[in-house]
Structures are given as structure tokens and as C-alpha cells.
Structure 1
Amino acid sequence: MKILVPVKRVVDYNVKVRVKADGTGVDIANVKMSMNPFDEIAVEEAVRLKEKGVATEVIAVSCGDAKCQETLRTAMAIGADRGILVETTEELQPLAVAKLLNALFEKERPLLIILGKQAIDDDANQTGQMLAALANMPQATFASKVEISGTDGNEICRVTREIDGGAETLQLALPAVVTTDLRLNEPRYVTLPNIMKAKKKQLDIVRPEDFGVDVKPRLKTLKVSEPPKRGAGIKVADVAALVDKLKNEAKVI
């Protein structure tokens, strides 16, 4: 069983981003970049399935410029067997990425595509759902537990996902798309020996034109601005004063 794991290169989650002075986007010059945390969870889950003997190959794929090779090497250091970079300098939006992943699905024919539920840069939460629609596959989003059973073309994927007020378990016939939530697992620490081994693993570079996919942006960003600064709080003398403030000023009661 082959598993495809898309990964995205984003600004590291520890970095406080700055909006450009002209409001056209976020300044990423000289900023630390890393793998999207949700995608790291997806890679970890795919590698665990391989370690259990469920999967035979884990393929990491990334879409973007040449620097995304670093992200793929990280995925291979975690345990992915090989990587594919769809190299382009275009601004990639969720629909374009979904189309590229659909083309790779047609080429590689994995039984499971597992990816992060969203990227921490745009928080779109769209790529997995769009991919499932384009490929006409069942999907399970926000997975907190993934189990694979069955063999020889009869594989079944059981996914537990958190919903309001409880948990929901879905059963999917493979091939399928699964998006990961934070509670699915804790990604392993990448060791130096595995980083060195990852440098020798296969990394193929293709381009959107190879698949006949148009990746031109459909959406235009009009303006990016920082959220308004939070105002200072106030202290009240007693409960009566608090109730008065909530009732007459905040008007929440």
C-alpha cells in the first residue's frame, strides 16, 4: 500500500510575522521557514503505518519553489521513502495545489493521501477537501485516530474525528483522503543520522506543465493588515460594579 503525503513550507510557528509596509503580504525575508506542523503530523502518521507493516511506501510531495526541497528532506528524515517536488514560482492557492495533487494521484495511484488539515500561513483548510472532490474519493477531515484494516484491494480506513460534543468514527473505502488534527500524534525528533540518510533518498522534480495543470491564481489579495491592538483592561471594586459594567457598557447581559 502506497501513501502520499503533501507537505508545505511555511514560516516557522515560533516566528512572529510582520506585515509588509505596503500591505501586500507578510514579510518573509530572512525569516526561518519550516514544515507546516499539521503536515509534519501527517508524515509521522504515514511513517507509523509503514512501521506497522500496513504501508509499503511513503511518498512526500511539495509544491513550490526550489527551497521546498528542504521541507521534503525533512519529511524523508522523519521516514518518507522518497520525495516529489512540483516546482513553480507561481503563487499557489488551494485549488491549484489540489489539482497538482490530483495529477500526482493519477500517476502514483496511492491508496491513501494524508495531509494536514490546514497550513498555518493562510489557514485555508481547503486543499484536502478540494482534492477529494477532484479525485472523487471519500474523505475524513480533522482525524485524531487512523486505523487501516483489510488486504488485497479490500482495505478499509477507520478515522476518528472530534466534533462538537463528542467524537465521530467514519469508515472509508480506499483510496481516500484524510486530513490530520493536532491530537493524532506527536511527531518524532529528527536525528542527525536520519538527516544524513535523507540526503541520499530519491527526490524527483516535476513541473505543473508536465501534468497540464494551470496554477494561475484565481483570487487576488487586496490588502493584508495586522489585527487591531487589544485595549487595556480595567479593574472593578466589587461584583456589583462588574455587573454594572457588563450590563451598561459592554451590554452583554
Structure 2
Amino acid sequence: MKILVPVKRVVDYNVKIRVKADGSGVELANIKMSMNPFDEIAVEEALRLKEAGKASEVIAVSIGPVKTDETIRTALAMGADRGIWVKTEEAGIEPLTVAKLLKAIIAAEGPSLVILGKQAIDDDCNQTGQMLAALLGWPQATFASKIVVGEGTVDVTREIDGGLQTLRLALPAVLTTDLRLNEPRYASLPNIMKAKKKPIEEKSAAELGVDVAPRLEILSTSEPSGRTGGIKLASAAELVAHLKTAGVL
């Protein structure tokens, strides 16, 4: 069984985001980039399934401009077998376009399972997995906190309001990962060196027959307003009065 894992290059979660002076977007120049944390969880789960004998190959896929291959190399250093890089001129390809590109790759590769991070930390869209499942006509389970692969099926436990829900899906299927699924491994130095020799196949959107022209227009980007200073209250009665004024009580 092949497992396909899409990975996205995003601004590192430790970096303080800065908005461009003209409000056209987020500053990316000279900024540390890394793999989307939810995608790291997806890669880790795919590797665990392979180590358990449930999968024969793990393929990492990423879409983006120059240096996107660095994110694929990270997945290869973790243990993925090979990579596919869909080269584009710009970063931030829209979720529907990403889903269409992934559909074309899936048609060529024929994986039985696609595992994605539930969302990217740069746009927080939480759309690609659902759109991909719809385009493929495959069953899907989102926000997975446990995955058990059986004979032609996969059982997925997911958190819902008030408890846990376990779904059984027929393969092939699309899954998205939650934070509680696993703890991603660190790539060791020997594996980082080995990753440099693993193959990364390069493709273009035109080759896959997908138009990457944006359908959405970003009108402006702005930083959130700063927090105002707090006040000290002399008594609980004064606190209650302020809460009533604010409409909380």
C-alpha cells in the first residue's frame, strides 16, 4: 500500500509574523521557513504505518516555488521514500488548486491512503483534505486522533463535542490529522545525509493540467490591534459593576 503525504512550506511557528508595509501580505524575505506542524504529524503517522508493515512506500508531495524542495527533504529525512515537487512561481496556492494538483498526482501514483495535516498554520483554511476527498469521490475522516489500518479498511478515531467518534472507511481514503495523533520524530544527522540522495520528481502545474490562477483576491492584510492596559479594581463589587457595563453579566 502506498501512502501519499502532502507537506507545505510555511513560516516557522516560532517566528513573529510581520505584515508588509503596503499591506499586500506577510513578510517572507529572510524569514525562517519550515514544514507545517500538522503535516509533520501526517508524515509521522505514515511512517509508523510503514514500520508496522501496513504500507510499502511513503511519498511526500509539496507545491510551491524555489526552496520548497527543502520541505520535501525534511520529510525524506524523517523517513519518507521519495518526493514529488510541483513547481510554481508563487507560494500560497489556493486550497482548491492544491486539491486539483493532488488529484492529478494521485491518479498517476495510485496510493491507497492520503494523509494531510488538518490545516496549514499560515492561512488556517482547513479545506484541502475535504476538497480532495470530494474531487476523488473517496471517503474522508478529519481531525484523526487515532488511525488503525485493517484489510481494505481504516478505522479513524476523532474528537467530537462530548466524546470520541470512530469511523470505519473503505480504502482508498483521505484523512486529516489532529494534534493528538502522535509526536513527530526528529530527523537524525545520518538520515538527513541519506535524504540528500533520495529522489525528488519535479512536475509543473501545466503538466498536470491544472490552472493555478487565483480565484480569490486579497484586499488587504493588517496586524491585530495591540492589547490595551488593564486596570486594578478595589473590590469584587467593582468587578461585577464593570462586567455589567461590558454586557458580560
Short-chain TM bin = over 0.9
The CA distance in 1 between the partners of 2:42 and 2:136, in whole Å, is 20
Return the offset for 1:66: 2.7
TM alignment of 1:207-222, pairs within 5 A:
207-222=204-219
TM alignment of 1:57-72, pairs within 5 A:
57-72=57-72
Unpaired runs of at least 5, structure 2? none
Percent identical across equivalent pairs? 68
The CA distance in 2 between the partners of 1:251 and 1:44, in whole Å, is 46
Return the offset for 1:55: 0.3
Return the offset for 1:234: 1.4
The CA distance in 2 between the partners of 1:66 and 1:56, in whole Å, is 30
**Cα deviation 1:176-226 (Å, max 9, x = unaligned):** 000001100000111100000001111100101111111110000000000
TM alignment of 1:101-140, pairs within 5 A:
101-140=102-141
* Aligned partner letter, 1:106: A
Off by >3 Å, runs of 4+ in structure 1? none
TM alignment of 1:42-121, pairs within 5 A:
42-90=42-90, 91-121=92-122
In structure 2, the partner of 1:13 is: 13
Tell me if 1:250 matches 2:236.
no
SS in 1 for 2:187: coil
Aligned pair count reads 248
SS in 1 for 2:207: helix
* Aligned partner letter, 1:226: E
Unpaired runs of at least 5, structure 1? none
TM-score by length of 2: 0.98
Return the offset for 1:230: 1.3
The CA distance in 2 between the partners of 1:69 and 1:233, in whole Å, is 46
Return the offset for 1:173: 0.4
RMSD: 0.7
* Aligned partner letter, 1:43: V
The CA distance in 2 between the partners of 1:244 and 1:209, in whole Å, is 63
**Cα deviation 1:41-63 (Å, max 9, x = unaligned):** 00000000000000000000000
TM alignment of 1:191-230, pairs within 5 A:
191-230=188-227
The CA distance in 1 between the partners of 2:56 and 2:175, in whole Å, is 18
The CA distance in 1 between the partners of 2:9 and 2:30, in whole Å, is 14
The CA distance in 2 between the partners of 1:198 and 1:85, in whole Å, is 15
Tell me if 1:158 matches 2:155.
yes
SS in 1 for 2:122: coil
* Aligned partner letter, 1:148: V
**Cα deviation 1:59-98 (Å, max 9, x = unaligned):** 0000011311100000000010000000111451101100
* Aligned partner letter, 2:79: G
TM-score by length of 1: 0.97
